[in-house]
Amino acid sequence: MSALAPSYDAAPARQAATVRPIPQAPLPTGIWRTGVLAALAWVGLGVLTLAWPNKPIGFSDWAYTEAFGIAALALAAPLLAIALLGARAGRVGLRLRPAGQWLVAAPLLLALWELLTAKLGLLPPPFFAPPQSLIDVVAEDWSRLGLSTAHSLRLLANGLLFGALVGFLTGVWIGWSRIAGYWVHPLLRFLGPVPASALLPLAFFFAPSSYSAAVFLVALATFFPVAVLTWSGVAAVPKSYYDVARTLGASEWFLVLRVAIPAALPQVFVGLFMGLGASFSALVTAEMMGVKAGLGSMPVS
């Protein structure tokens, strides 16, 4: 009977029996002290805004000062309730706890901003304005701000997409092809440090319109970091990866699409991140080239 029975190894069963579940962190209990401190900070910001009169600026005063102070007090009330409830606050309290230190720092920074601008006037207007001035701008020009933001985002998206795509393809080409690496890579190294704003005359000369010139500048600022880091990622792929794939009968296109590009993706994403920062800096210059709508083309009042 035992000879016909299948063999059974009890070692995996014993190992499974000895595996212990990972202990979970205990749920917080009691009063959330950081939340109480954050609520007190927001109360202090509201009291500072409402009780301390603003320093006169000519014949007018900063609008929405009272609304800003009341908003700070209104934000402090539910935050204090959540902090006092502790674990009974449920999911809302659990999600707010990781941001507790930011909830303390934000009102302190706003209070310092309010103190240096509206209360003491150490930072002269109109170059420096208090926080409530942002409310005034949004309330008065929300339609124009929304339209300008949409146009700026469209310009940024077009330039970023075009520059990232061309930069990615160029980087893969340089990293894979020795001929491209010999001829194109020195040009990329030579022109890469040149800022996009230095090519304004070329953009005006070759582009048929001001919008296409602006897209060209944003795309150019995105192109160089994406191309260089994509080339670096493809060139750094270990040769053993290609040898194993060739042993299994992989073609050249398979090596590029399934080996080189996936292995280079970490460097590609770093290039995209750096290209995004460069595109924002080029966007400011691009919108000053006569673009009909955008945040950079809004008149300063």
pLDDT tens for 149-160 read 888 888 889 999
Instruction: Write down which residue in 85, 107, 140 finishes a domain.
Output: 140
Q: Are residues 184 and 118 in the same domain?
A: no
- In 3D space, the residue among 149, 162, 136, 143 whose CA is nearest the CA of residue 63 turns out to be 136
Q: Which ranges constitute the DSSP H helices of 236-260?
A: 239-247, 252-254
Residues paired with 60 in a beta bridge = 57
> Which backbone phi and psi does 74 adopt, to 5 degrees?
-65, -35
**Is pTM beyond 0.85 here?**
no
Residue whose structure tokens are 């050249």: 252
State which residues form the domain around 125: 33-140
The DSSP symbol for 299 reads: P
Q: Are residues 281 and 165 in the same domain?
A: yes
User: Looking at the predicted structure, is the pLDDT value of residue 249 above 70?
Assistant: yes
- Tell me what pLDDT residue 6 has: 47
Instruction: Write down which residue in 140, 173, 202 finishes a domain.
Output: 140
How many folded domains does the chain comprise?
2
Residue whose structure tokens are 């908003």: 71
Q: Note the pLDDT tens digit of each residue in 47-76.
A: 999 999 988 876 567 888 899 999 999 999
The DSSP symbol for 60 reads: B
- Does residue 253 belong to any structural domain of this protein? yes
Q: Which of 21-30, 115-124, 161-170, 277-286 has the lowest average pLDDT?
A: 21-30
pLDDT tier, 2 (very low <50, low <70, confident <90, very high otherwise): very low
Length of the chain: 301
Q: Are residues 50 and 102 in the same domain?
A: yes
- Tell me what pLDDT residue 41 has: 96
- Tell me what pLDDT residue 16 has: 47
Q: Are residues 38 and 166 in the same domain?
A: no
Contact 38, 75 (CB under 8 A): no
- Does residue 2 belong to any structural domain of this protein? no
Identify which has the larger pLDDT, 97 or 299: 97
Q: Are residues 39 and 174 in the same domain?
A: no
Count the alpha carbons within 13 Å of 248 in the hemisphere toward its beta carbon: 9
Count of C-beta atoms within a 10 Å radius of residue 168: 21
128-142, 247-261, 280-294 — most confident range? 247-261
> Which backbone phi and psi does 57 adopt, to 5 degrees?
-125, 85
The mean predicted confidence, pLDDT, of the chain is: 82
Q: Are residues 285 and 150 in the same domain?
A: yes
